[in-house]
A = this chain, B = another copy of it.
Amino acid sequence: MSTAPALGRPRDTSLDAAILRATVDLLGEVGYAELTMTAVAARAGTTKPALYRRWPSKAHLVHEAVFPPQEQPLWPDGADLAASVRLMLTGAVALFSEPTVRAALPGLLSEFATHPSLHSALLERFQSDVWDRMRSRLAEEGVGVDADVLVDLVAGAAFMAVTLRSAPVDDTWVDRTVDLLLKGIQP
């Protein structure tokens, strides 16, 4: 079960990198809605067909540019559950605050209806890194809390504060949110 035997002319891998970089740059400059395939192609020094050969739509291209497949965990595990929750919350805040993610994420969400494959791809991208890790962490500590519920609360709060309220997320907010969650988790 290997990939195809590389039939025909091999793809120019330097183009992939140039296109992804151009996408990230332009996302930061003009945002998701104003990002055009034409502009990406021009910035990357190539043409639109080269883009469409690699990704079926702007949404897929942005997805790969902003959430490249797994490098390392988005945030480290903590020594205990309390530390893990805090690290996940601050990690989510940091992630959603990155200019590129801020520009891209709502745009990607809005295209889920049109591109279901994109939806599952994004979920899979974070499955092991977020839900699976949280699930095993809770099991280790013997805490009877549903991982989905906790992840929804942690990630959702970060998303709301950063993206919707656009409030400055300071230590006070983090402390209070973590306190509430930890008290709610306790048996």
Contact of A153 with B by CB under 8 A: yes
Oligomer copy total = 4
Residue among A110, A166, A186 with most chain B CB within 10 A: A110
Check A83 for interface membership: any CB of B closer than 8 A. no
Within 8 Å CB of A148, what residues of B? 161, 165, 167, 173
Q: How large is the interface on A (under 10, 10 to 19, 20 to 34, 35 or more residues)?
A: 35 or more
- Contact of A17 with B by CB under 8 A: no
Whether a CB of chain B sits under 8 angstroms from the CB of A113 is yes
**B163 adjacent to A149 (CB under 8 Å):** no
Measured between beta carbons, the chain B residues less than 8 angstroms from A157 are 149, 152-153, 156-157
Docked-complex contact A119 and B32, CB < 8 angstroms: no
Q: Chain A: residues with CB nearer than 8 A to chain B?
A: 31-34, 102-103, 106-114, 119, 123, 145-146, 148-153, 155-161, 163-167, 173, 176-177, 179-186
